[in-house]
Amino acid sequence: MDTSTALTADVIVLGFGKGGKTAAHALSSAGKRIILIEQSEDMYGGTCPNVGCIPTKMLVHYSNSRRLEDAAQEFFASSMEGVRALTAAGRAANFNAIDSKDLATVITGKARFVDSHTIAVGEGTDEITVTGSTILINTGSEPIVPPIEGIESSEHLVSSSDLTRLATLPQHLVIIGGGYLGLEFASIYRHFGSEVTVLEAADRLLPKEDEDVAEVATEILAGDGITLITGSAVTRVQDVDGGTVVTYVKDGVAQTVQGDAVLPATGRKPATDGLNLDAAGVEVAPRGAVVVDEYLRTSQPHIFALGDVNGGPQFTYISLDDARIVLDQLLGDGKRSTRDRVAVPRTVFITPPLATVGLSEREARERGLNITVAREKVANIVAFRRAYTVEETRGVMKFILDADTDLILGAAILSIDAQEVINVVALAMQQGVTATTLQNGIYTHPSTTEAFNEIFTKIVA
C-alpha cells in the first residue's frame, strides 16, 4: 500500500538560509502557498545563526572577555553554553516565524528533484512529494576537506561547525589554511587559551590584500601568540596517542607539528550533492555551483538559486540581496539584478577586525588608475581617540582615492569597529560621496568615524 503524501505549493524553497527564509516570508505574506524544506532540524534559519556568523562572532566576544584569572577550560565551557542557548533560541524563532504563517509549511528532510517541478523528501512509505510552480534553491555551501593523506580518517579532524559546538577547549589547534575562516578561528581559539598554529600555502597571509595591510594583520596575530607558517604545503595527517601529527613541507624540507584538533580551512563548496539536479534539467558548473543569470534564474526559468549555492560571494548579506532580486522577479518589476551591486564590503573578525571594500592599491595600479593613497597606523591617528579609550590602538587605515575626482575607490580598515565603519565607506562609494566630504563630516566623540577627520590628510602616495 502506498502511503506517500503528495503536496502542492506556489513556491518550494529548498534550504532555510537567509535568502530562502526572507523570500518565504515575503511570498507567503503576498498570498503565495509556500513549502520550505530543510534537511536538518539543527539548521532552521540556515548556516549563519547556527554554525556561522552568529555563534562565531559570539565566540569572538567571549574570547576577548576572558581575564587572566579565568581558567581556560571552565571559561570556554561556560562560553559554549551561552552560544548553545542563543543558537537554540534562534532556531526555534526561525522555525516558528515561517511555520506559524497561514500559507507556509516547514518540512524537515533530505530533498531531491524528481522533475523540474517536483521535489521528493524522504524515502519509501515516509516519502513526501511536493509540486510547485516556482522553486528556490537555497541549500548553501559545505566545507571542503582537502585531499591530504590521513585527514579524513583522523579522529581529531574538526570542521568550522564543530568549532562552534565543542565541549572541550583544544590544547593545540592546527589550522590548514590562512584565509578569512582560518584566521578568524585562530584568533578566537588563541584568545580562549589554545595554542594555535596556522599553516598557509601562500608566501604570506591575506594574499588578496595589499602587502602593507597584510603585514600589520600578521604582526597582530603573531603578537597574540599565534604561530604562523607561510609557504607550507601540508602532505599528511597521522593520529598518534593523544593527538595527531601534521606533516608539511616548507622550503623543500618536511617538518611536523602535533596538535589535538585539526581544522581544514581551505574553502567551501556549493551544497548540491544529492539534489538530483539533472532530473530537473538545472545546469551546474564544474565546481558544483548552480549556474544562474544576473536575475538568479537557472537554466529552468521557474527555478532560482540563492546564496552560496549559486557560486557568488559567500556572505549572508549577499544571500539577503539575492532574495531581493528574486522577489523583484516574482512580485516586482523584475529590473533588479546582481549588476546593481556596487562596493560590497567584507570583514574578517580577527581582533581587531579587518574590513575591506572596493579596490586595493595593487588592483588600482594594475588598472592604470590615477590614484592617491591615504594611510596611517591607528596609533598615529590623533582624532581616533576611541581606540585609546578602549585600549586597542593596533591596526591601520588605508584608503585608495581617485586623484581626479576625490572619490573613494577602495578601503582597508584594520581597527576596532572596522565592521561598522566599512559600511559607512561602502555607502559613500555607492552614493558618490567624496573623501573631502567624509573628512569634513561632524561625528560624535569619541567614535571611530572621527578618524575620517584626519585620515584623508595622510596622503602617502
For the annotated catalytic residues, the residue numbers are 445
Residue with cell 518540512: 107
How many CB atoms are located within 10 Å of the residue 234 CB?
Answer: 24
Separation CA 273–CA 275 (nearest Å): 6
Long-range contacts of residues 424-429, Cβ cutoff 8 Å, at least 24 apart: 424/449, 425/343, 425/345, 425/357, 425/399, 426/343, 426/344, 426/345, 426/357, 426/358, 429/342, 429/343, 429/357, 429/358
Distance of CA 11 to the CA centre of its chain: 27
**C-beta separation of 323 from 22 below 8 A:** yes
**C-beta separation of 437 from 405 below 8 A:** no
Contacts of 200 (CB under 8 A, 6+ apart): 177, 178, 182, 228, 229, 230, 231, 232
How many CB atoms are located within 10 Å of the residue 460 CB?
Answer: 10
The strand pair at 303-305 and 261-264 is best described as unpaired
